[in-house]
Amino acid sequence: DGGITQSPKYLFRKEGQNVTLSCEQNLNHDAMYWYRQDPGQGLRLIYYSQIVNDFQKGDIAEGYSVSREKKESFPLTVTSAQKNPTAFYLCASTFRSMNTEAFFGQGTRLTVV
């Protein structure tokens, strides 16, 4: 089945550690996105990528990094510079050249302990 897979579903990390969240899609989508969802703040865009080897900062990119070495993969690293990393992280993807909606993964809940 086609879709977006985020792993792991739950992640715990200690303060000061970097952690990488995985996002893989087999929908042949061009564009991929990372969002952070916090209560009352909706989905805030962290980074997005329209094509391989290119990505743009979203509205809250500080303390995060991404790479897009393959079309189907868009991992997000939450660095120790992110002051408040505990959140629910959502990955999405869509076609670039067609008018279609974005499809979402199931999310990763990151907790800093």
Partner 1 sequence: AQSVSQHNHHVILSEAASLELGCNYSYGGTVNLFWYVQYPGQHLQLLLKYFSGDPLVKGIKGFEAEFIKSKFSFNLRKPSVQWSDTAEYFCAVALRGTDSWGKLQFGAGTQVVVTP
User: Residues in the site for partner 1, rule: CB under 8 A?
Assistant: 31, 33, 35, 40-45, 48, 50, 56, 58-59, 90, 92, 94, 96, 99, 101-102, 104-107
The two structure tokens encoding residue 63: 């303390």
Write down the least CB distance from residue 33 to partner 1, Å: 6
Write down the least CB distance from residue 80 to partner 1, Å: 27
Is residue 75 a contact partner of residue 20, using CB atoms and an 8 Å limit? yes
CA distance 103 to 80: 29
For partner 1, the closer CB: 31 or 110: 31
Give CA separation, 59 vs 23, 51, 62, 63, 95, in Å. Answer: 20, 19, 9, 12, 21
For partner 1, the closer CB: 32 or 112: 32
Give CA separation, 103 vs 24, 28, 66, in Å. Answer: 12, 12, 19
Write down the least CB distance from residue 62 to partner 1, Å: 15
For partner 1, the closer CB: 33 or 64: 33
